[in-house]
C-alpha cells in the first residue's frame, strides 16, 4: 500500500450528463447532481451517502498515519498556553478581556471596574458551546451605560446567527431572541435600543432593524433595506460613538449612510451616491468626518468634511493619494489621527494632528513584519494598543505611549513547549514574474535546513486581501522536520498597493496564477526548492489558485491541500440565485452578461479544465453548511479528477458534515485538521520522522 492510498476502492460518483448554452457555447456537467436541489438544506440521500463514502475513504487513508497525526497534534497543542488570557483593554468605566481555562476549547469574556475589583465573567463561550458539534461567537457588544450585553452565535457553520441579550447587573437573560442575523448588535445612545443586520433567504445582509429591549422582534422597525442583490449591508460605529454608519457595498464599491447614535430613528443621511469602484471608510471627531476613499487615487486619500455637510461635493483633501504609500485605514481620536498604511509591502502606523501636521511614525525592529492597531476603545487615550509579529517573532502586544513615543511590551505570545527564535531565519525575496514585475516572497526555515529542501508554498491572491508574513506555532512542526515555508504575495492581494489587487482581478485574473507558478519556478532555478518537491496550500479563493496551478503545472508539485476551494467558478458565476454570486461579479466578471468574462473564466476555472494528465497528491476539504464556497464545488471537482486523471496518486476528500467555511470550531479541534494536513504533507515529502 502506498502512502495515503488505502487498499479499498475510492468512491466513484455516478455521471448524469447535462448541458447548457451561453453566448453560443456549450457547458457540459456530469456531476451537477451533487448539488442538492433543496440547498441550503442538504437532505438528498444519494448526495449524503457519496460525501460519507468519501469521508470514510479518507479516514481509511489516514489511519496508518494516526501516530504521526497524534504526534503533530500534541506538538501543536503543546505550543498553546492552555490557561491563556488577554491583555485587558479599557472601555469607559470598565476593563475587558478574555481567558481560556486549561483544556477549554473556547474563551470566557470578563470585565472588571477600572478603579478596582474582581473579574466577572460576562460571556461564557464553553457553556454556550455545550452540546453543539460546532460553535462560533459572531461578536458581542456592551451598551454605552455598561448594563446590557448583546451577542450572537452560530451553531452549525451556516453563518446565520442568533442574537441574545442579558443584563450584566442582574445576570438575567432577556426572553426575546433574534434569529437569522449577522454580526454583533450596534447599540445606540438611547437606553435599551440597538441596531442589527437581518439576513435574506439567500444569506445576504440586506436590512438594518432597530430593537428595543423587552419588545417583540417581529415588530422591529426597518431603518434601511438594500435593494441591490449585489450589495451587502454592514453596520459600524465611529470611534467617538456619536455616529452609526450603514454601509452597503460589494468588493469594490461603497455607499455610506449616517445616523446619529442619539437619534437612530431619523432618516439616515446619504454621504455619497454609489459609484462603481469607489470605496470609503468614515470616522469622526468633533465637528468633522474623516473619510478614507479611493475616489481620486487608487491607493486612497483622506478627506475631511463638516458633520453638517458630509456629501462628496463638500470634501476637502487632507492627505493626498500616493503611488508609494498605500493608505489602508484612518482612525479619528479626540486629539489626533492614526493612519494605517503600507509602504513597499510593509505595514506602517502614522500619527498626526487633525490637520495632518506633526506626523510621526511608529518604528518596529525587524525588516519584515506585520503591525496593526489593537483594541483601542477610548476616544481620548494616552496610549495606543499595537499588535506585532513576524514569521519568526511570536505575536506581541504593545502600548505606544503618546507622550514620549515609548513602546511598552505588554505580552509576548507564550509557547509552553519552548521556542528559540534564533534557530530560524526569515527572508524577503523579490521574484521576477513573466511580465517583468517582481513578486514579493516571504520565506522562513531553520538555519540548518539546506537549500533545495522540501518547500511548502502558500498563496491566496484575491479580494485585495494581502497575506502578511505572520507567525504560526503550527508551522514549526514543518520547519523542525527540515521543510522550508514560503508565502507568495501574488497579485490579487494588496501587499504592494491597490494596483497589486487590481492587477489580479477580473480581466487580469490570470496574473495571479502566473505569479504563483513563476515564484515556484524561480525558487527551483535559484536552488532554494526542488522541482516536484514543492507542496502547496490555499483556501477558498486560494483553493481556486490550487486548482488552476494543479491543472497548469502539475509537475512542479509534490502535494496540494485545497481547503473549501472555489473551483467550480464558471457554474457558480452563472448562477445568480446563489447568495454570493452578484456581489462577486466585480471580482471575477459577470459571465451571464459579458461574453469576454465567460471566455476568461471558462479558460481557467479548475473544474472545467481538469484534463487527462498526471496530477500531484491532493487533500481537499469542504464544509457541508458553507454558504461561501458550497460543498458541491469541491465534490464535483474531486469526482472529475477521479474520472479523468491518468495516475493514482493520493486523492482524498473530506467534508465536515457539521461546519461551514472555517472548518471545525474550538482551538484544539481545529488543530486536529491542521495535524492531518501537515501529516499529509510530511509523508508525501518524506520529511522528518516520516522518512523512517
Establish whether 216 is a catalytic residue.
no
Q: Which of 36, 347, 533, 626 is labelled catalytic?
A: 626
Closest CA to 137 of 147, 117, 122, 115: 122
Kindly state the cell numbers that stand for 417.
513547549
Kindly state the cell numbers that stand for 634.
469541491
Please check whether residue 591 is in contact with residue 22, taking contact to mean a CB–CB distance below 8 angstroms.
yes
CA angle 558, 643, 66 (to 5 degrees): 50
Number of Cβ within a 10 Å radius of residue 405:
12
What H or E segment, with its residue span, contains residue 546? helix 541-552
3-state secondary structure of 405: coil
Number of residues that this document lists for the chain: 692
DSSP 519: H
CA angle 539, 544, 549 (to 5 degrees): 110
DSSP 172: P
CA distances 509 to 186, 587, 630, 650, Å, are 37, 9, 21, 29
Number of Cβ within a 10 Å radius of residue 511:
23
Kindly state the cell numbers that stand for 16.
448524469
Q: Which of 50, 65, 331, 661 is labelled catalytic?
A: 661
Q: Which of 535, 540, 605, 665 is labelled catalytic?
A: 540
On the question of a cis peptide bond just before residue 40, with omega within 30 degrees of 0, the verdict is yes
The DSSP code sequence of 560-602 is EEEES----HHHHHT-TTSTTHHHHHHHH--TTT-HHHHHHHH
Establish whether 540 is a catalytic residue.
yes
* Rounded-to-integer distance, Cα 520 and Cα 617, Å: 17
Please check whether residue 620 is in contact with residue 568, taking contact to mean a CB–CB distance below 8 angstroms.
no
Helix H segments across 618-691?
632-644, 667-685
Establish whether 626 is a catalytic residue.
yes
Kindly state the cell numbers that stand for 564.
473549501
Closest CA to 476 of 672, 666, 674: 674
DSSP 345: T
What H or E segment, with its residue span, contains residue 20? strand 18-22
Q: Which residue has the cell 436541489?
A: 37
3-state secondary structure of 608: helix
Q: Which residue has the cell 445612545?
A: 189
**β-bridge pairing 484-488 and 455-458:** parallel
Closest CA to 34 of 48, 52, 18, 53: 48
CA distances 167 to 148, 172, 261, Å, are 5, 5, 21
Q: Residues with catalytic annotation?
A: 540, 626, 661
Amino acid at each position: 500500500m502506498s502512502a495515503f492510498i488505502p487498499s479499498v476502492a475510492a468512491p466513484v460518483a455516478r455521471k448524469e450528463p447535462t448541458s447548457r448554452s451561453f453566448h453560443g457555447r456549450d457547458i457540459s456537467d456530469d456531476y451537477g447532481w451533487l448539488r442538492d436541489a433543496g440547498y441550503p438544506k442538504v437532505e438528498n440521500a444519494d448526495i449524503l451517502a457519496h460525501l460519507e463514502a468519501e469521508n470514510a475513504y479518507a479516514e481509511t487513508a489516514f489511519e496508518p498515519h494516526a501516530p504521526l497525526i497524534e504526534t503533530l497534534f500534541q506538538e501543536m497543542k503543546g505550543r498553546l498556553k492552555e490557561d491563556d488570557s488577554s491583555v485587558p483593554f479599557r472601555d469607559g468605566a470598565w476593563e475587558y478581556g478574555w481567558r481560556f481555562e486549561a483544556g477549554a476549547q473556547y474563551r470566557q469574556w470578563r470585565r472588571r471596574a477600572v478603579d478596582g475589583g474582581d473579574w466577572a465573567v460576562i460571556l461564557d463561550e464553553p457553556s454556550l458551546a455545550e452540546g453543539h458539534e460546532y460553535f462560533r461567537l459572531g461578536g458581542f457588544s456592551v451598551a454605552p451605560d455598561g448594563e446590557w450585553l448583546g451577542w450572537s452565535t452560530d451553531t452549525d457553520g451556516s453563518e446565520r446567527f442568533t442574537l441574545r441579550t442579558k443584563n450584566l447587573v442582574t445576570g438575567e437573560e432577556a426572553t426575546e431572541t433574534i434569529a437569522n442575523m449577522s454580526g454583533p448588535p450596534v447599540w445606540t445612545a438611547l437606553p435599551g435600543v440597538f441596531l442589527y443586520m437581518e439576513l435574506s433567504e439567500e444569506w445576504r445582509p440586506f436590512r438594518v432593524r432597530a430593537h428595543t429591549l423587552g419588545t417583540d422582534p417581529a415588530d422591529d422597525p426597518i431603518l434601511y433595506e438594500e435593494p441591490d442583490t449585489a450589495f451587502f449591508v454592514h453596520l459600524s460605529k465611529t470611534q467617538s460613538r456619536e455616529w452609526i454608519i450603514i454601509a452597503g457595498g460589494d468588493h469594490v464599491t461603497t455607499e455610506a449612510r449616517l445616523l446619529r447614535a442619539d437619534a437612530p430613528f431619523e432618516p439616515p443621511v446619504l454621504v455619497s451616491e454609489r459609484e462603481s469602484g469607489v470605496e470609503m471608510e468614515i470616522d469622526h471627531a468633533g465637528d468633522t468626518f474623516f473619510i478614507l476613499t479611493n475616489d481620486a487615487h487608487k491607493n486612497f486619500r483622506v478627506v475631511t468634511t463638516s458633520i453638517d455637510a458630509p456629501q462628496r461635493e463638500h470634501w476637502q483633501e487632507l492627505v493626498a493619494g500616493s503611488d508609494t504609500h498605500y493608505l489602508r485605514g484612518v482612525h479619528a481620536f479626540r486629539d489626533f489621527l492614526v493612519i494605517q498604511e503600507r509602504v513597499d509591502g510593509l505595514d506602517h502606523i502614522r500619527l498626526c494632528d487633525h490637520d495632518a501636521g506633526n506626523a510621526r511614525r511608529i518604528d518596529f525592529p525587524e525588516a519584515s513584519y506585520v503591525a496593526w492597531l489593537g483594541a483601542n476603545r477610548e476616544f481620548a487615550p494616552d496610549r495606543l494598543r499595537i499588535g506585532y509579529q513576524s514569521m519568526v517573532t511570536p505575536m506581541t502586544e504593545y502600548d505606544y505611549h503618546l507622550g514620549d513615543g515609548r513602546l511598552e511590551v505588554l505580552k509576548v505570545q507564550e509557547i509552553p513547549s519552548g521556542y528559540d527564535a534564533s534557530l530560524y531565519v526569515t527572508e524577503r525575496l523579490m521574484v521576477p514574474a513573466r511580465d517583468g514585475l517582481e513578486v514579493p516572497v516571504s520565506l522562513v526555515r531553520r538555519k540548518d535546513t539546506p537549500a533545495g529542501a522540501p518547500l511548502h508554498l502558500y498563496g491566496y491572491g484575491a479580494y485585495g486581501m494581502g497575506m502578511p508574513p505572520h507567525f504560526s506555532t503550527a508551522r514549526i512542526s514543518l520547519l523542525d522536520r527540515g521543510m522550508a515555508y514560503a508565502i507568495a504575495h501574488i497579485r490579487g492581494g494588496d501587499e504592494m498597493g491597490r494596483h497589486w489587487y487590481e492587477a489580479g482581478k477580473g480581466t487580469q485574473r490570470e496574473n495571479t496564477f502566473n505569479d504563483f507558478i513563476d515564484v515556484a519556478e524561480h525558487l527551483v532555478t535559484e536552488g532554494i526548492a526542488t522541482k516536484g518537491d514543492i507542496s502547496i496550500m490555499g483556501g477558498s479563493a486560494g483553493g481556486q489558485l490550487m486548482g488552476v496551478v494543479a491543472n497548469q503545472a502539475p509537475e512542479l508539485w509534490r502535494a496540494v491541500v485545497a481547503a473549501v476551494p472555489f473551483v467550480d467558478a464558471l457554474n457558480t458565476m452563472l448562477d445568480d440565485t446563489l447568495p454570493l454570486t452578484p456581489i462577486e461579479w466585480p471580482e471575477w466578471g459577470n459571465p451571464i452578461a459579458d461574453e469576454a468574462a465567460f471566455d476568461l473564466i471558462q479558460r481557467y476555472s479548475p473544474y472545467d479544465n481538469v484534463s487527462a494528465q498526471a496530477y500531484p497528491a491532493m487533500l481537499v476539504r469542504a464544509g457541508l453548511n458553507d454558504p461561501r464556497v458550497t460543498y458541491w464545488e469541491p465534490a464535483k471537482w474531486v469526482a472529475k479528477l477521479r474520472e479523468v486523471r491518468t495516475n493514482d496518486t493520493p486523492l482524498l476528500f473530506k467534508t465536515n458534515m457539521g461546519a461551514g467555511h472555517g472548518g471545525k470550531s474550538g482551538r484544539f479541534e481545529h488543530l486536529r485538521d491542521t495535524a492531518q494536513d501537515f501529516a499529509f504533507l510530511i509523508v508525501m515529502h518524506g520529511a522528518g520522522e516520516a522518512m523512517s
